[in-house]
Amino acid sequence: MGIEFRHVRKTYPDGTTAVEDFSVTIPSRSTTVFVGSSGCGKTTLLRMINRMVDPTEGQILIDDEEISGIEPVALRRRIGYVMQNSGLLPHRTVVDNVATVPVLTGTPKAKARQEALGLLDRVGLDRSLANRYPGQLSGGQQQRVGVARGLAADPNILLMDEPFGAVDPIVRDELQQELLRLQRELGKTTVFVTHDIDEAFLLGQQVVILQRGGVIAQIGSPQEILANPASDFVADFVGAKRGKRRLTAEEQGAGDDVLLVDAAGYPAGVISAPDGRLALSNSGPLSRSVSNKTDQAGDA
């Protein structure tokens, strides 16, 4: 079950190889993040799942069915797709953008619009925005509409290509939290592409760190990767090498909180320490109850 890449290779006619030999299994109902610098082939891999790009060699299976046998247009309509800069249709209102795929698959317009309004609620958008055009929304609002559109046909799979790459850090935080909430509520099989390792560790149950040519540098949970980077490349990429993730407690001030600093001495967060004893996590590292993203670094 889930999505399976089997020895996938992509060579373009001009001879460049985007992906050399990529095999990975993406489990159902969880989030897998492909993370790497530009040119690592992460977007190409993502676009292979809905046949926007066809591999030169190898197979991709969704729930054990080879997708090369599925008609691309039909396949795309059952897979949600969210991209950077939202990719919304500028000539359609918000509600019509969200209703895009249901209308394409023959749902009557009135019904599709009605359901689209429910999706706006779901992604935290006010219904008063329904009749605006995308150009009248903020970047963050556009991305929310993009997510709502991706969910409109109730797909089992959601592909997200750097969806939060172009919004400011505060809005990005909000959107990431929304996505975590949606993921808890809906349990889609989500494949998320990003170049931001913090985002990868925050959102991914499984993180695939890619090197040039779609070579897997390491694959595992954020905990596994942070605790045991497989190579210098990974250690460098996740920031362990630069000491960004190795935190030490500063001397306690007047309150109960102790300041944590990274190896370079920059403040990274605080930890509560009543009576000089550091608080221990009792909810496990995956709960993400602390909004500071460096919370996972407590393991390191």
Contact residues: another protein, CB under 8 A: 47, 50, 52, 73-74, 76-77, 81, 83, 85-93, 100-101, 104-105, 133-139, 142, 149, 159
Shortest distance, position 76 Cβ to another protein, whole Å: 4
Q: Provide the 8-state DSSP code for 210.
A: E
Of residues 84 and 296, the one with the C-beta less far from another protein: 84
Q: How far is the CB of 164 from another protein (least distance, A)?
A: 14
How near is the Cβ of 261 to another protein at its closest, in Å? Answer: 35
Q: Which is nearer to another protein, 188 or 244 (CB)?
A: 188
Nearer to another protein, 42 or 149 (CB): 149
Say if CB 122 and CB 116 are below 8 A apart. Answer: no
Choose between 71 and 251: whose C-beta lies nearer to another protein. 71
Name the CA radius of gyration of the chain, rounded.
21
Question: Least distance in Å: CB of 192 to another protein?
Answer: 15
Minimum CB–partner distance for residue 11 and another protein (Å): 21
| Chain centroid, CA 257 distance in Å | 32
User: For another protein, which is the closer residue by CB, 140 or 239?
Assistant: 140
Q: Dig out the tokens for 265 from the structure.
A: 């001495």
* One-letter amino acid of 225: I
CA distance 271 to 77: 46
Residue ranges of the alpha helices (H) in the chain?
A: 42-49, 72-77, 94-98, 100-104, 109-122, 139-151, 169-186, 197-203, 222-227, 232-238
